[in-house]
Amino acid sequence: MTPHAELKNHQRERYLFSLRLVFCLSFVGLLMAILLARAFYLQVWKHEYFDTMAESNRIFVVPIVPNRGVITDRNGRVLARNYAGYTLELTPEKIKDLNATIAEIGKLVEIKPKDLRRFKKLMSERRSLQTLPVKTRLTDEELARFAAQRFRFPGVEIKARLFREYPLSETTSHLLGYIGRINQQELDELDKKNLAGNYMGSDYIGKTGIEQRYEKEMHGVTGFEQIEVDAGGRAVRMLSRTPPQSGKDLKLTLDAGLQEVAEQAFGDYRGALVAIDPATGEILSFVSKPGYDPNLFIDGIDTESWDALNNSPDVPLNNRALRGQYPPGSTIKPFMALTGLHFDVRSPSFSISDPGYFMLPGSSHRYRDWKTSGHGRVDLFASVVVSCDTYYYGLATELGIDRMHEYLDQFGFGKRTGIDLEGEVSGLLPSTEWKMKRHQQIWYPGDTVSAGIGQGYNLVTPLQLAFATAILANDGVAYKPHLVKEIQHAPNEPQAAPEPLYDLHIPAEHLALVKSAMQAVVKPGGTAVGAFWGVGYPVAGKTGTAQVIGIKQGEKYDAEKVSEYNRDHAWFIAFAPADKPRIALAVLAENGGHGGSTAAPIARKVLDYYLLGKKPKPLQKVVEKEGVEDD
C-alpha cells in the first residue's frame, strides 16, 4: 500500500464517516421536530382539554345540602321540622366483614333488632358507595363512646345530619306524607329532569303527600364548596363557596288543632274527614283514619313495621280522604234537589205520597225506601229533612241520568278536585255515554233509580263530597280545594289571593230552600238531630249511608248480622254557620252504620271546636238518640 493510496483511503473513510454523521444529524433533527410537534400538540392544540383535566384533578366539589323547608299550619304551629343529630354510618364497600363490624359496634352503641332490619333493607336498595345509617339519633354518651374507639372502625363514620320530624305523627300522616331515602328510580327521574346535580348531597326526597308535591319548593338549592385537594385526596384549601339556599317554608291552610280534634273524634272508627273554608277553598282539616307514624319511613322502615302496616285489615297506608271511593248515598240528595229545581222538574211546592217504595212504570220491582212504612206526603223540603228515598227515585227517573250528570258534574262529582296532593282519584258520576264506553252496555232505567239516592254506580271521595258541600255552602261559587296557604316569600312579594274557579249561578230561592231543609236535618224531625242537640250556631247538614253489600229483594239489612267490615258506611256533610258558612265538611265513618249516629257526632265535635273553640273531652261517649234513623 502506498502512502498515497492510504491517504486516499483515509479521505474516503472520512468522507463516508461524514455522510454517516450528516445522516445522524438529520435523524436527530427529525426526532427533535417530533418532540417539538408533540409539545405543541399537548400544550397549545389540546391545552384546554388538559387544563380541564388538571383542574378536575385538583378541584373537588363538595355539595352543601340546604335545609329543607319547615311546614307549619295556618297558625304557625310546626308540623314538619328539622333537627340536628348524629348518625353512625357505614360504607359497605370499605368494610371487609360487615356482620363482624356491626357486632363490634353493637358493643359500644345499642343497635336494636329494628335498626338491623332497616339496615338490611337499605343494603338491598342502596346506591354504590353510599353510606348507610346503622344507628340514627345517637345519644351524647353513645357518641362519646364511639368517638373514642373510632380508629378501630375504618369505613364507619359519625355524621351530623339534619333529621326530619313530624311532631303530630299519625295525625298529619296522610296529608304531609313523608320524606325518605332517594332510591335508584328517583335518582334516574332526577337525572332526566336535570336535577341530579342539585341532589348531589341530598339523601332524602319527598315520597308522598305535601312533602312530595312541594319537593321542589322545600328542597332548596344545593350549595357548593370547591376544595383544592392533593393526590391523596387531602384538602389543601378552599377555593370558593356558593352557599346553599334553604328550601322554602310552607304555611298550610290546615288548622292543626282542628285536625287533632277531628282525628280524636273518630275514636276507633276508620274513615275520613275533609273540612274546607268554602269562601277560599282552604282545607282546614284533612283526616284519614287510621294514620301511621310517618317518622318510621324517613330512614327506611324496618320490615316488621312495614308488614304490620301493609297487612293490617284497616289499611292504614290508604289515604281514604284522597283515594277512598264510596257511594255518596243520601248525601247526594241536596244536590239532586238543586238539579230537580234547576231543570224545573220539581217545584218547591210539588209533593208525593210515599208508600215506602217506588216502582218503574211497567215493572213490579219495588225500590224500597229506608222507611218501609213510607214517609207519607213529602215535598222537596221534607225529602231532604227525612231523607226520603222514594222522592228521589221518582225525581231521578224524570230527570234522566244524563241531565243528572250534566248538573252534578259542576259540583265536582266524578272528577278530580285538583287538590295539591298526588294520587287523587276521580270517583264516578255515571252517564249513558260512560256506561257504553266502560261496560259496552246501554243504560237501564233501573240504573237511574238507584243513582237518584247516590247508590248504584256513583262513587265519591270524602274530599270530593267536602268540595261539593263547600260549593253549595258558598252559594255555587267554587274555589279549588288546597292545602298550602303560603310558600315562604320575600315580604314585599305580592301573593295571589285564591280566585274562584267558577260560579254555578244557582238562583237564590233554590239555595234558600235547600239550605233551610239542610238546617232542619239537625233539628227535631231531622235525621241528625241527636248529634246536634243544643248546638250553639246554625248548622246545615245531611246524613248518608253507603251500602257495602247488596241486600236481596224482600230481605232487611240487619247490622247485627253482617260482619264488621261489611256494615254500611256512615256519611255526614255539613256547613256552619248556615247563614254565613266558615266551614264545610264531609265525614265518612267506615262501617259506621247510620250517618246520623256515627258520622254526625264527629262533625259536631269538629264544628264546635272550630266555631266555638270548644275542645271535646276525650273518651266522652256520644249519647245516641233513639228513633232517628237514616235509610
Dist. CA 518–CA 575, nearest whole Å: 9
Q: Choose the stretch contacting another protein; rule: CB under 8 A; options: 13-21, 416-424, 455-463, 512-520.
A: 13-21
Q: Choose the stretch contacting another protein; rule: CB under 8 A; options: 114-122, 125-133, 227-235, 558-566.
A: 227-235
Write down the least CB distance from residue 53 to another protein, Å.
5
Write down the least CB distance from residue 231 to another protein, Å.
4
Which residue in 186, 189, 228, 475 binds another protein (CB under 8 A)?
228
Angle at 117 between CA 115 and CA 123, to 5 degrees: 100
Q: Which of 202, 288, 330, 387 is catalytic?
A: 330
516 is catalytic: no
* Residue 550 is a binding residue for another protein (CB under 8 A): no
Q: Choose the stretch contacting another protein; rule: CB under 8 A; options: 50-58, 315-323, 381-389, 537-545.
A: 50-58
* Residue 235 is a binding residue for another protein (CB under 8 A): no
* Residue 5 is a binding residue for another protein (CB under 8 A): no
* Residue 18 is a binding residue for another protein (CB under 8 A): yes
* Residue 148 is a binding residue for another protein (CB under 8 A): no
* Residue 17 is a binding residue for another protein (CB under 8 A): yes
* Residue 16 is a binding residue for another protein (CB under 8 A): yes
Write down the least CB distance from residue 288 to another protein, Å.
54
Closest CB to another protein among residues 23, 83 = 23
* Residue 40 is a binding residue for another protein (CB under 8 A): yes
Which CA distances in Å does 542 have to 146, 531, 595? 62, 12, 8
* Residue 21 is a binding residue for another protein (CB under 8 A): yes
Q: Among 89, 258, 287, which Cα is nearest to 170's?
A: 287
Q: Choose the stretch contacting another protein; rule: CB under 8 A; options: 33-41, 204-212, 400-408, 600-608.
A: 33-41
Give the distance from CA 539 to its chain's centroid: 30
Q: Count how many Cα atoms sit within 13 Å of the Cα of residue 531 in the half-sphere of its side chain.
A: 32
Query: Could you tell me where the beta strands, DSSP code E, fall in 278-374?
Result: 282-289, 351-354, 357-358, 367-368
* Residue 30 is a binding residue for another protein (CB under 8 A): no
* Residue 565 is a binding residue for another protein (CB under 8 A): no
Query: Could you tell me where the beta strands, DSSP code E, fall in 97-185?
Result: 132-135, 156-165, 179-181
Which residue in 7, 11, 26, 35 binds another protein (CB under 8 A)?
35
* Residue 49 is a binding residue for another protein (CB under 8 A): yes
Closest CB to another protein among residues 47, 216 = 47
Asked if residues 467 and 412 have their Cβ atoms less than 8 Å apart, the reply is: yes
Q: Where do we find the cell 222507611?
A: 371
* Residue 15 is a binding residue for another protein (CB under 8 A): no
Closest CB to another protein among residues 60, 537 = 60
Write down the least CB distance from residue 111 to another protein, Å.
35
Write down the least CB distance from residue 7 to another protein, Å.
13
# residues near another protein by CB under 8 A: 36
Name 84's bridge partners.
162
* Residue 236 is a binding residue for another protein (CB under 8 A): yes
Instruction: Show the binding pattern over residues 178-217: x = contacts another protein (CB under 8 A), - = does not.
Output: ----------------------------------------
Cell of 233: 385526596
Please give the helix or strand (H or E) that residue 167 lies within, else none: none
Q: Where do we find the cell 493510496?
A: 5
- Helical pair 600-607 and 256-265, crossing angle rounded to 10 deg: 150
Closest CB to another protein among residues 16, 549 = 16
Dist. CA 384–CA 336, nearest whole Å: 10
Q: Among 113, 114, 164, 134, which Cα is nearest to 302's?
A: 114
Closest CB to another protein among residues 53, 221 = 53
Write down the least CB distance from residue 128 to another protein, Å.
17
Report DSSP letters for 42-90, one per residue.
IIIISHHHHHHHHHHHHEEEEEEPPPPPPEE-TTS-EEEEEEEEEEEEE
Dist. CA 298–CA 164, nearest whole Å: 7
Which residue in 13, 110, 188, 307 binds another protein (CB under 8 A)?
13
Q: Where do we find the cell 426526532?
A: 31
Dist. CA 136–CA 120, nearest whole Å: 15
Please give the helix or strand (H or E) that residue 120 lies within, else none: helix 113-125
- Provide the b/e sequence for 434-454 (b: ≥16 CB within 10 Å): bbeeeeeeebeeebbbbbbbb
Closest CB to another protein among residues 17, 350 = 17
* Residue 20 is a binding residue for another protein (CB under 8 A): yes
Q: Choose the stretch contacting another protein; rule: CB under 8 A; options: 17-25, 96-104, 440-448, 509-517.
A: 17-25
* Residue 239 is a binding residue for another protein (CB under 8 A): no
Q: Choose the stretch contacting another protein; rule: CB under 8 A; options: 16-24, 200-208, 301-309, 401-409.
A: 16-24
DSSP character at residue 611: I
* Residue 54 is a binding residue for another protein (CB under 8 A): yes
Q: Choose the stretch contacting another protein; rule: CB under 8 A; options: 15-23, 114-122, 161-169, 441-449.
A: 15-23
Write down the least CB distance from residue 223 to another protein, Å.
24
Angle at 155 between CA 149 and CA 156, to 5 degrees: 50
Angle at 331 between CA 252 and CA 465, to 5 degrees: 25
Which CA distances in Å does 246 have to 25, 180, 371? 69, 19, 61
* Residue 32 is a binding residue for another protein (CB under 8 A): yes
Residues of the shown chain interacting with another protein in the complex, contacts defined by CB under 8 A: 13, 16-18, 20-21, 24-25, 28, 31-32, 34-36, 38-40, 42-44, 46-47, 49-51, 53-55, 57-58, 228-232, 236
| Residues with a known catalytic role | 330
